[in-house]
Structure 1
C-alpha cells in the first residue's frame, strides 16, 4: 500500500468497498429478506458490482500490481453468479415429436389502458402467440376485458379479481387440465395459480406465479428527472417500499414452496418473480429445478424493459425429470413492459 501513488490508494480504497459489498451480495441469497430487508437491495445490483470488480481487475493487471488479487478472488468466488447474468453459448437440441413448449408472458393487460400509443397491441400479442404456438401458455396480468381471443387453447385455468376491470393470471394448455387452483395470500399483491395437466402418459403440475412488485420504473429517464428533487424522506420511502415488497415476496415464496412439497407430479414454474436471479426468493423457489435460461439460453436473457440494464425477472423452471432443449427471450418484442420467454422441454426416458 505504501508503494502506491495517492491516486492508486484512492482507487484501492474504492476497490475494497466494492469487494465488501459484492461479498455481502453473494451471501444474501442464503438469508431470508426479513433478516436484512434493506441489505437485500444489493442483490438487485450485483451485476454492477461484478462489472466494477472486472474493471478493477483489469486496472491492476495492466499495472502488474498485487492488488489485482482482491477483485480476482471475488470474481472467482462469484463465477456461478456470472452464469446467471450472462450466457456465452446456447444449447439448442434437435426437435423431436415428444417435445413440448412452454411460454410465460406478462402481457400488462394486453395494453387495456393504452399505455403504448398508436398500436393494436392486444392483436399484435395474439398474433405473436399464435405464431410461436406454445403447448402451454402462462400469462400474468391477464384480463378478459381486453377481449383477446385465445380460442386455439381448448383447456384453461383462469383466476381473476376486481369489480369493474377483472385482472389476474391464466394458464392455457393444448393438453387436458384436470385440476386447478389459486393461492389466496392476504396483504400481498398479485397471486399464484396452478394447473395439473395430462400429457399422454405423463402428468405435469404448472405453477404460474406473479409475485409482489417492487414498483421500480422501467424508464431510467423518469428516475433521472427526479434525482435533483429527491430528499432523505423520499429516499427512505423508496427503500421502505422495496423492503416491504421483499418481505411479501418471501411470504409468497414460502407458501409456494410448501404447496409444491405436497405435489408428486413433475413441476414447471413460470412467471414474473419481480426479483433478480441473485436473490433469496429466486433460490428458494427454484430449489433443485432447472433454470431454463441457464440450461439453454444465450446472452443476457432480458425479460423486463428497463433502459440500460438487461433485467431478468421472469423465469421458467423445469423439473429435473425434464430435459431443457431450447430457450428464447423475445427482447425485440416490445408490446408490454415485459418480454415473453419460451422453452422447449421433453421428459427424460
Structure 2
C-alpha cells in the first residue's frame, strides 16, 4: 500500500469493498432467503460484480501490481458462477431421429392488456411456434383466449388460476399426455403444472413453473429515486421469500416422481440464487450444457437477465439450447432445448 499513489489507494479500497460484497454473494445461494431476504438481492448483482472484479484485475495487471491477486483469487473461486453467466459457443450435437425438442415461453397473456403497441402479438407467437415446431411447448402466463390455437399439437393441458385475470399455464405436446396436475403455491397467483408424457415406450414428466413475480418493469426510462429504491428492495425481498417456499414445494413434489424429469419455465430469479439451487437440485442446467452467450431470457434494459430455464436430469442427453433473444412478442424471450433419452426410464 505504501508504494501506491493516492489514486491507486482509493482504487484498492473500492477493490476490497467489491471483494467483500462478492464473497457475500458467493455465500447467499446456500442461505435461505427468509433468513436474510434483503441480502438476497445481491444475487442479482453478482454478474456485475464479476465484471468489475475482472476490470480491477486488468487494471492492476497492466501496472504489474500485486494487488491484481485480490480480484484474481475472487475470479478463480467464482469460476463455477462465471459459467452460469456466460457460455462460449460450441458445436451442436448431430440430430438423431430419437431427439425431441422442448420450448419454454412466458407469453405475458398474449399482450391481452396491450402492454405492447403491436396488435398482432398473438398471431406472431403462433407463427413463431409453428416455425420452430417444438415437440413440446410449455407456456407461462398463458391466457386461454378464443383465438389461441396450436393445431399441430394433439395433446394439451391448459390450467387457469383462480385470479381475476384468468392467467395460467399450458403444456402442448405431440406425444400423448397420460397424467397431469398442478402444484398450488400458497398466497400467490403463481403456480407450477406438470404432465406425464409418453414418448415411445418411455414416460417422462415435464414441469412448467412460474415462480413469484418480482414486479419490476423492464423499462428503466423512469427515474428511480430513494423512495422507489426502497419499494423495489422490499418487493424483491418479499418475492424471494415466497419463491423459497415455492421452490421447496417443487423440490418435494419431484422427489415423489418415478419418471425422468424436465423442469422448465420462469424462475423469476438468477442462476446465483438459493431458489435456483433448490429447484435445480442435481439436475443439469441445459444452458450450461449447450447454450452460448449470456442466455438473456428477460427483456430488461442494459442487463442480460437469465431467469427462464430448462433443467433435465441425467437420464437425458443435452444436444442443443437456444435463446431467441430477438423475438420480442413478450417481456420474456422463448428458449428451446433439444434432448434425447439415454438411460432406461420408467414405462
The bucket for the TM-score relative to the shorter chain is over 0.9
Task: Kindly provide the CA deviation profile for residues 75-128 of structure 1, in whole angstroms up to 9, marking residues without a partner as x.
Answer: 000111111111012341010100000000000111112222134110010010
Instruction: Provide the C-alpha distance between the structure 2 equivalents of 1:257 and 1:347, rounded to a whole number of angstroms.
Output: 22
Instruction: Provide the C-alpha distance between the structure 2 equivalents of 1:24 and 1:184, rounded to a whole number of angstroms.
Output: 33
Q: How many angstroms does 1:188 deviate by?
A: 2.3
Partner of 2:101: 101
Q: How does 1:154-303 map to 2 (within 5 A)?
A: 154-162=154-162, 165-222=165-222, 226-227=223-224, 230-231=225-226, 233-303=227-297
Partner of 1:128: 128
Q: Is the 2:291–2:321 Cα contact (8 Å) retained in structure 1?
A: yes
Task: Kindly provide the CA deviation profile for residues 251-306 of structure 1, in whole angstroms up to 9, marking residues without a partner as x.
Answer: 00000000000001000001000000011100111111111111111111110001
Q: Is the 1:291–1:317 Cα contact (8 Å) retained in structure 2?
A: yes
2:334 to 323, 329, 340: 340
Instruction: Provide the C-alpha distance between the structure 1 equivalents of 2:113 and 2:150, rounded to a whole number of angstroms.
Output: 20
Instruction: Provide the C-alpha distance between the structure 2 equivalents of 1:192 and 1:173, rounded to a whole number of angstroms.
Output: 17
Q: Is the 2:33–2:241 Cα contact (8 Å) retained in structure 1?
A: yes
Instruction: Provide the C-alpha distance between the structure 1 equivalents of 2:262 and 2:181, rounded to a whole number of angstroms.
Output: 15
Task: Kindly provide the CA deviation profile for residues 45-64 of structure 1, in whole angstroms up to 9, marking residues without a partner as x.
Answer: 10100010001001100111
Partner of 1:25: 25
2:293 is paired with a residue of what secondary structure? Answer: coil
Partner of 1:56: 56
TM-score (norm 1): 0.96
Instruction: Provide the C-alpha distance between the structure 2 equivalents of 1:268 and 1:172, rounded to a whole number of angstroms.
Output: 15
Gaps of at least 5 residues in structure 2 are none
Q: How many angstroms does 1:170 deviate by?
A: 0.6
Q: Is the 1:112–1:146 Cα contact (8 Å) retained in structure 2?
A: no
Q: How many angstroms does 1:189 deviate by?
A: 3.4
Task: Kindly provide the CA deviation profile for residues 113-171 of structure 1, in whole angstroms up to 9, marking residues without a partner as x.
Answer: 22221341100100100111111100000011262111211111111024764210011
Gaps of at least 5 residues in structure 1 are none
Q: How does 1:109-128 map to 2 (within 5 A)?
A: 109-128=109-128
Point out 4+ residue stretches in structure 1 off by more than 3 angstroms.
Answer: 162-165
The alignment covers a number of residue pairs equal to 343
Q: Is the 1:145–1:165 Cα contact (8 Å) retained in structure 2?
A: no
Cα root mean square deviation, aligned:
1.2
Instruction: Provide the C-alpha distance between the structure 2 equivalents of 1:178 and 1:73, rounded to a whole number of angstroms.
Output: 51
